[in-house]
Chains A and B, each alone.
Chain A
Amino acid sequence: MKKRIALVLVFVFGILGIIPFLIPHPIVQNSDEYIRNDILRILAAFALVLALGSLLKVHADKIRRKKVNWQYSWVLILAFIVSSIIGLFGGVAGTGLLPTSFGSFPFDIQTLYENIIIPLASSMFALLAFFMASASYRAFRARSSEATLLLVAAFIVMIGFLPVASSISLKLPAFAQWVLNVPNVAGQRGVLFGIALGAVATSLKIILGIERAWLGGGD
């Protein structure tokens, strides 16, 4: 019964999602606007609360059972609580109910974001350059004709898009642009058509209840 309700909901809302793109009548458009602006927004708010609850539950459970690296879960929970309090009561830029500054040092969400999140996330991603350099040295080998072609194309595009490319040859930037505009687009477009057709087929299968893996369980 539970699964049947979910299937009916997916069918109804799946069809309701398609119709506004095909019928421009005001009644259809207004209903679509109502579904999106009111119903969908409320659902999203529930999903957000559910996700936060689930996150806390998973980490509380990890601490209780002393699973591997359980100490890090404390970091997450503490960071969650502190940033929630500052965000909820301190406002986004020190404009909230709580005074979020110690002397001249502001302690609002934007300060936390600029001084913790940005440096941490940027550093993590910056490390990629080093791994990429090492990995390309070890793995980027002209082992076959396809790999050689890839290597040559990569070199053309890499050099062609460097600021010094036009100093090497005036035709190099244009050639690199051609590689992206013609062979790349040809391949990408084929992939895009494939993905689009696949997405249509999969969506139809889900809407019509043929594909039920998303429901979980065996049947």
Chain B
Amino acid sequence: MVRGWRLKFIDRLTKIDRRIIYGILALVVILPLVFPTALKVKPMTPVEKLYEAVDNIPDEKALLLDCSYAPQIKAEVEPMAIAVLRHAFAKRKRVLVLALYVQMLGLAQKALTQVTGEFNSKAQTNADSIIYGRDYVFLGWTPPPLIPMLGMGESIAGVYPADYYGNQTDTLELMQQIKNYNNIGILVCLSGSAIPKSWVAYAQNRFGVAVGVGCTAVSGADFYPYYQTGQFSGLMVGMKGAAEYEELVEENLEIKEKRMASEAMLPMTYAHFVIMLFIIIGNIGYFIQRRRK
């Protein structure tokens, strides 16, 4: 009787209904999001290096932000874009934003609108404000990606004769000073694909521009060789990387805004523990069954 019950239990361990797994996972993700708590994270070296690289952009140079992330990976990468933009604008760095594919333009526009809105709502004077054309330019998109990657080495306005809003690029105040990669302090590529490798192959190898990367957790492992060799000045991996950058921005610049990635750390932690727990349960069941056979 006891043996039968035990066998049944072991069988159940290996055959948990997927709806139960989905339900538990949904619960541990939704609950902490309903009652958001920003979890403190300790920034790791790759993120610190990226932060320093952006922080150390010389005054006469600009940050080139490639927002090549699609809506699918928005949750992971958008907080990176927002954190980097907050950092750059707070330090009065000049910013150029672009996307290499058309479906990413809306997200870049959204991040820019949010961050410039945050700064401008607190600005007292014109000098405090973040003004389009003076402090930042949204270059938009030009196909295929190879054209801007190589072309900006010679002339940014040549590759983007008009910006995203249809303004003639070379008439904008910022673009009078930022001509090509020589005027770029660092290029930060936010992407979930192999685009950062292409920036290294075309823009860095040929023109020597520094490249920093923010990527999804799943593609992070692919980029470590480039970080180790110094081809990437810094690396922000997944939502945790974004939370670390947010931490650095808040700590060093005292910017108290909503921290999307930090608030997602708690559900992410719980979700990881649930997944690990189910893997352990599955393996326990598997080993007992194997021994029985």
Say yes or no: A158-B272 contact (C-beta < 8 A), given A163-B40, A189-B225.
yes
Residues of B207-232 whose CB lies within 8 A of A: 217, 220-222, 224-225, 228
Cβ B282 vs Cβ A44 within 8 A: no
Asked whether any CB of chain A lies closer than 8 Å to the CB of B130, the reply is: no
Cα-based distance from A48 to B101 in the complex (angstroms): 12
Cα-based distance from A33 to B153 in the complex (angstroms): 10
User: Which candidate, A54-62, A73-81, A124-132, is the interface stretch facing chain B?
Assistant: A124-132
Complex interface: chain A residues within 8 A of B150 (CB): 32, 36
Complex interface: chain A residues within 8 A of B106 (CB): 109-110, 113-114, 117-118
**Among candidates B146, B224, B240, B278, residue contacting A181 with C-beta atoms closer than 8 Å:** B224
CB distance from B38 to the nearest CB of A (A): 10
Asked whether any CB of chain B lies closer than 8 Å to the CB of A19, the reply is: no
Complex interface: chain B residues within 8 A of A140 (CB): 279, 282-283
Return the chain A residue nearest B15 by Cβ.
A138
Return the chain A residue nearest B75 by Cβ.
A122
Asked whether any CB of chain A lies closer than 8 Å to the CB of B18, the reply is: yes
Asked whether any CB of chain B lies closer than 8 Å to the CB of A71, the reply is: no
Cβ A136 vs Cβ B75 within 8 A: no
Asked whether any CB of chain B lies closer than 8 Å to the CB of A31, the reply is: no
Asked whether any CB of chain B lies closer than 8 Å to the CB of A102, the reply is: no
Tell me whether chain B's interface is mostly helix, strand or loop, or mixed: helix
Cα-based distance from A44 to B105 in the complex (angstroms): 18
Cβ A180 vs Cβ B147 within 8 A: no
Complex interface: chain B residues within 8 A of A130 (CB): 21-22, 25-26
Cβ B72 vs Cβ A125 within 8 A: yes
**Among candidates B22, B75, B110, B272, residue contacting A114 with C-beta atoms closer than 8 Å:** B110
Asked whether any CB of chain A lies closer than 8 Å to the CB of B115, the reply is: no
User: Which candidate, B82-90, B116-124, B157-165, B182-190, is the interface stretch facing chain A?
Assistant: B157-165
Chain A CB within 10 A, most for which of B22, B222, B279: B279
Cα-based distance from A124 to B72 in the complex (angstroms): 7
Cα-based distance from A45 to B72 in the complex (angstroms): 26
Residues of A146-192 whose CB lies within 8 A of B: 151, 155, 158-159, 161-164, 166, 173, 177, 180-181, 184-185, 188-189, 192
Residues of A103-148 whose CB lies within 8 A of B: 109-110, 113-114, 117-118, 120-122, 124-126, 129-130, 132-134, 136-138, 140-143
Cβ A137 vs Cβ B269 within 8 A: no
Cβ A118 vs Cβ B142 within 8 A: no
Tell me whether chain A's interface is mostly helix, strand or loop, or mixed: helix
Asked whether any CB of chain B lies closer than 8 Å to the CB of A37, the reply is: yes
Cα-based distance from A44 to B73 in the complex (angstroms): 26
Cα-based distance from A21 to B149 in the complex (angstroms): 14
Asked whether any CB of chain A lies closer than 8 Å to the CB of B144, the reply is: yes
Complex interface: chain B residues within 8 A of A84 (CB): none
Convert B257-293 into 0s and 1s, putting 1 for each residue whose CB lies closer than 8 angstroms to a CB of A: 0000000010011011011101101110011000000
Complex interface: chain A residues within 8 A of B178 (CB): none
Cα-based distance from A211 to B25 in the complex (angstroms): 49
CB distance from A197 to the nearest CB of B (A): 15
Cβ B144 vs Cβ A44 within 8 A: yes
Cα-based distance from A114 to B114 in the complex (angstroms): 13
Cβ A126 vs Cβ B109 within 8 A: no
Cβ B282 vs Cβ A92 within 8 A: no
Chain B CB within 10 A, most for which of A125, A162, A163, A185: A163
Query: Which residues of chain B have a CB within 8 Å of any CB of chain A?
Result: 16, 18, 21-22, 25-26, 29, 39-42, 44-45, 70-75, 103, 105-107, 109-110, 142-144, 146-147, 150-151, 154, 158-159, 164-166, 206, 217, 220-222, 224-225, 228, 237-238, 240, 243, 265, 268-269, 271-272, 274-276, 278-279, 281-283, 286-287
Interchain Cβ contacts under 8 Å between A and B, 12 examples: A40-B146, A40-B147, A117-B103, A121-B70, A125-B73, A137-B16, A158-B272, A161-B217, A177-B44, A181-B224, A188-B224, A188-B225
